Structure 1
């Protein structure tokens, strides 16, 4: 395994902690030594606020010229943009720099076991990186209390539509499995499902774009939720749930007074947790008070929440998640859910495998 670091002392400590043979290479110019030119896996431990180090890391990873090498980036901060940058550089997975030895070894083992499967979705990774980068602009605007650029939103939605059309929703969701940011992974999952569902329903180009834009926007209110709640590795307390449940109204208030967002998109942001039987939130809407676009997106949102792994639980297999939604009865639109069964059938893999 090759370890790329800009601090030799940290690198030596990491190599010793892991107790495995490493090729340790300090940050400097020049080609990699012969013994480090064909590693089975690469770990990077580089400060992303160091422009020279990032440039060196990008050049070094490109020089390896093999896209089947697992690359794990250790991140020294919790800045979400750092994770996006890591994936843009070619990371297969990311871990915090203070990850335990056990977590690092588990990451190596998981990457090796998935190597053959991952090759099948490697072409999708570039599209995932592009989509996560454009989605980051959406969430960055939200964190600043502003609305995202409508054109940026459309470009993001069109990119997801094109990727799902070309590669299929199965490959899209499979490639997202290595994405560690829970909120980003969930939103990109929902957007991919919405793109596939719109195509399945035979929507025209305008309606496909509208549903996919709405999917990308639906959780923008979470940009204003504290990370301690958003990323909590366990069940939320009642007080924390109250804060979390405020995200639809926060998102709606961010967008409602801005140009570029249609009434149906705003309704999705505000009402994607409403249920047809009136048991949802924030407004307790029921029946005909809930529009078709909201009903479609709610199905995608719940399904994504069930199949996506969390730090405190595994994701469900596709069929099991769908069965749970069927048992929700009058909370969801039965006709739309019946059509969504075809999306379930397309996902003929265990997302937790």
Structure 2
């Protein structure tokens, strides 16, 4: 049948149908394998009560193997084939970290988190580059922006957006009392100047550009030239200020990069909310004001509250490698939500 369709198809409509058939081949193969395994399981189950002990033992072993294979197909293979391919898989991530409640302890934990994401990037063969960082004289970091470039970086890290809570005893706490502090993380899609999607995000007549003298650390350069740049996207009111680079040109380039990322993030978030308008309980996954994770040092425990996952491996997670287990769980949860959306709208 497939060969006949290939030979006879010639119109645009036919070619589209052929493309759909080609794309559905992996799913058809997985379904055929699942049906084959299901039938084999039914046959094997009849042998579990065989009078021959050796036959029962072989049947039990085969039954366990087939059951594991079918469960893997249902929980992993089918979701991977049914979930539409990501449209942002090529994008890197622009991460903004800001200290929250907790004073200096919050800033110290922000520094720990920044190292965690840098180590994760190295382990994942991504490239991490700190765009800006506001160090405090008392130690720690008040806020930071880091670029993480590499395929799949944004798709993996976008679920890190939200409030991260840490519970631990500060080094300066003489009584040993546990303090609770927070760090807010925002993950944006990293939009490069050459990305084709830039044109649809804004037009230059929608941008107000202002230049001013830089403030803060910088030696003799400060207040000598108008190197700082502020961009405002008039339709949305989104504002980006940049003064970390030495020249107005560099600051303008950085500011436009951040603006593109923020506008792309708004676009993606709006699409998520529109798709899930009938499933309000899922919209909260994009709510950056929500406490998403707790790092408890006394119990060596990290809990992601969105998926109810608790890992007793805080040190491994802060070293970057263990964080991958949480990201994998969040990815699996996302795929399940997408499948539920598809089924509910079918």
Sort the TM-score into its range (normalised by shorter chain).
Answer: under 0.3
TM-score, normalised on structure 1? 0.22
Structure with the bigger RCO (C-alpha within 8 Å, sep 6+) is 2
Q: Which protein has the bigger helix share?
A: 1
Larger Rg: 2
TM-score, normalised on structure 2? 0.23
Q: Which protein has the bigger strand share?
A: 2
